[in-house]
Structures are given as structure tokens and as C-alpha cells.
Amino acid sequence: MRIVVIEDDAVVADTLALYLEHAGYVVSATADGLSGLKLALEPEVSLVILDLMIPGMAGHEVCKRIRAKSAVPIIMLTARASEDDRVAGLELGADDYVPKPFSPREVVARVQALLRRTPARPTSPPPIVIGELELDLWAHQVRLAGRVVALTPKEFRVLEVLGRSPGRVFSREELLARAFGPGYDGLDRTVDVHITNLRKKIESDKQPRYVLTEHGVGYRLATNDDL
């Protein structure tokens, strides 16, 4: 299931994405209301987490416009915790309301509870396609030039994290946390080993095309513009 997080605080957005991804969800995050509205109205979205204090378009207006076109569940986040604020958000069509500061584990639990009460959607997210590399998160499958590539679960998780944000550089520490969970006790070298093994399976020669190294920073998945 795909969750859209509309939150302009990068720390909050990254923390939510980390916990939600570890719980098995695909996460798309944005920091402003206009782009958030566009993401939220895409047909494969299962739930929206919406902060009220965001630039571009206020959260209340985003909620109102989403609800005018879609029944997708909405969880509101805000530092405004008064009863009037909660009632206003719920009257606009939000399904749940979480005041800041909050526990990420509680938000995940609320997401799970809300989705259990929501009929499942039959549509699946489209595969991520970079050149001849195809990452199908729904089927948990990787194909290269149409051929299925056998990856270990950890190799798939590393590629999955990179594949959700092509072009974005992830540090080794971030890859460890996102791929294996925030409580994973591993070394930075663990990521290098998985990347090496992954490259042996999806790269056609010694010069990587898909999983690229940003020296001194970490790794990123190439975009189609890189190929």
C-alpha cells in the first residue's frame, strides 16, 4: 500500500517514512500543499498523512480538495491540539487527528487500524523502471531486460529503498536504518557488501549504471537521465 506524507518538517517526514517503510508501506513524501494534493489524488494511494501547517496551500484546504474528489483516508498532523482544531479537521473530512509531538509507532498503528477499516483497492502501483531495470514493489520482483533477477531479501530491501527515490543519495547509515529497520545493529560495511552483491546481479559490466556511488556520501539509484 502506498502512503502519501505531506509534511514540510524534513525530520518529521523522514522519521515517518522510515517507520512506515519498515512496516511494509511504500511512502511518497512532499513538503508543500500543492504537490501534496496532486500526489494524494493519484489512484493507487491508500492513505494520506497531512500536516496542517504547510507552505503552498494550507492543510485544511488540501484536505477539503482531496475530500471533494476522493475517499482516500486522511490522518491530520498538527501542533494545534485544541478541541476546536480537531473538530474543524474532522469536519473537513479527515479520518483521524494526531497532535504533535507524537510517537511514530503510534502513527503507524493508527495507519494500520484505519486501513483495516477501509476496503482494499484493487489497483497496484506501477513498477519503477530505470532503463532496462524494473522494480515491481507489488510483486516483490526485479527484472533486468525482461529477465527476473533472483535477489536475497536484504538485497531487495536495499534496492527498494533506493528505488523509491531515484537520484537521491542515501548515506550508509540511512540505508541501514531504512532497509533493515531503525533497531538494526549493523556496520556501514554491511551496506557495501550488499551493494557489491546487488551490482553483480543487475549490472552488465564493471562500470555501474544503476546503483551509483557518491564518494564520501553514499549510494543512489540512477535516473533515466543518467543512462
Kindly give the confidence (pLDDT) of every residue in the chain, 227 residues in length, as a single tens digit, with 9 standing for 90 and above.
899 999 999 999 999 999 999 999 999 999 999 999 999 998 889 999 999 889 999 888 999 899 888 889 999 988 766 667 667 767 778 888 888 889 999 999 999 999 988 765 545 668 899 999 999 887 788 999 999 999 888 899 999 999 989 999 999 988 888 888 766 666 667 889 999 999 999 997 678 999 999 998 999 999 999 98
Q: Which CATH number fits domain 2-116: 3.20.20.70, 3.40.190.10, 3.40.50.2300, 1.10.3720.10?
A: 3.40.50.2300
The whole-number pLDDT of residue 2 equals 92
Mention the CATH class of domain 128-226.
mainly alpha
Q: In this structure, what C-alpha cell is assigned to residue 100? A: 504533535
Q: Sheet holding 74-78: strands in order across?
A: 26-30, 2-6, 45-51, 74-78, 96-99
Q: In this structure, what C-alpha cell is assigned to residue 220? A: 543512489
DSSP string of 53-107, one letter each residue: S-SSS-HHHHHHHHHHH----EEEEES--SHHHHHHHHHTT-SEEEESS--HHHH
- Sign of the torsion formed by the C-alpha atoms of 114, 117, 119 and 122: positive
Angle between helices 153-164 and 172-180 in degrees, nearest 10? 120
Domain with CATH 3.40.50.2300 in the chain: 2-116
Residue 191 near residue 176 (C-beta atoms within 8 A): yes
* Residue where the block lists cell 535516473: 223
Task: Please state the pTM of the whole predicted model.
Answer: 0.58
Domain with CATH 1.10.10.10 in the chain: 128-226
